[in-house]
């Protein structure tokens, strides 16, 4: 039931968000739309089964929508990354209030601030190595990973490194120009979701 609910509710929301935040909106092909709807169904079912639906929901909606835009337009829209950050903070606050344990919230907040600050520093030192959208995407994804325990965050970082290397390799094999922006968003979102729902 949760998979069907995810496919029927979250899937269309993701597609609508991605469509509305593109510079030149286009209709997705049937295969791509079906894949997104199916992915949404799987994520909701997996998150519900793992007891992490509240934690995964913002990333599964706004994160995937932003990643879709990044694939097509090489940018992560501010409204989507901003909403992801805000909703992640809200869900973590709700989780903290319901559990009464502040340690995960402190760990998540510190990890998000630390990695976000490091990303800004990397951007300032080497502007072409990372986009501002990636910088804005990182704090929320790191906070979600750090919520469970430091090991989950470590595994997420390993997943990111592997997926980013694959992205770079694919970019070179596709013979895109050096001036083309590499879309890191999909790797960051996939690495976080994969770690939260598959690895742990």
The pLDDT score that the predictor gives to residue 46 is: 66
The pLDDT assigned to 7 comes to 55
The per-residue pLDDT for 80 is 94
**Tell me, what DSSP letter sits at residue 1?**
-
Neighbours of 81 (CB within 10 A): 23
Question: Distance between CA 164 and CA 8 in Å, rounded?
Answer: 31
**pLDDT given at position 54:** 77
Given a cut of 50, the residues of the chain with pLDDT beneath it are 2-3
Q: What is the pTM of this model?
A: 0.84
Position 85 scores a pLDDT of: 94
Helix, strand, coil percentages (3-state) for the chain, rounded to 5, are 80, 0, 20
Q: What is the pLDDT of residue 170?
A: 79
178: tokens are 């050096």
Decide: helix, strand or coil at residue 161.
helix
Q: Which two tokens stand for residue 16?
A: 């609508």
Task: State the pLDDT at residue 27.
Answer: 64
The answer to whether 101 and 83 are in contact (CB under 8 A) is no
What residue segments make up the domains of the chain, in order of their start? 2-199
């Amino acid at each position: 039931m949760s998979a069907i609910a995810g496919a029927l509710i979250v899937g269309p929301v993701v597609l609508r968000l991605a469509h509305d935040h593109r510079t030149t909106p286009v209709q997705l092909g049937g295969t791509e739309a079906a894949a997104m709807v199916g992915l949404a169904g799987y994520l909701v079912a997996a998150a519900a089964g793992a007891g992490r639906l509240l934690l995964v929901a913002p990333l599964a909606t706004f994160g995937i929508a932003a990643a879709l835009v990044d694939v097509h337009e090489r940018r992560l829209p501010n409204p989507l990354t901003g909403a992801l950050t805000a909703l992640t903070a809200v869900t973590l606050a709700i989780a903290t209030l319901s559990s009464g344990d502040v340690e995960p919230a402190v760990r998540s907040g510190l990890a998000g601030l630390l990695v976000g600050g490091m990303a800004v520093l990397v951007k300032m030192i080497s502007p072409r190595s990372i986009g501002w959208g990636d910088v804005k995407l990182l704090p929320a994804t790191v906070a979600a990973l750090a919520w469970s325990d430091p090991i989950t965050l470590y595994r997420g970082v390993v997943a990111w490194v592997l997926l980013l290397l694959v992205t770079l390799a694919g970019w070179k094999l596709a013979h895109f120009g050096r001036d083309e922006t590499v879309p890191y968003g999909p790797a960051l979102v996939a690495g976080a979701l994969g770690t939260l729902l598959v690895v742990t």
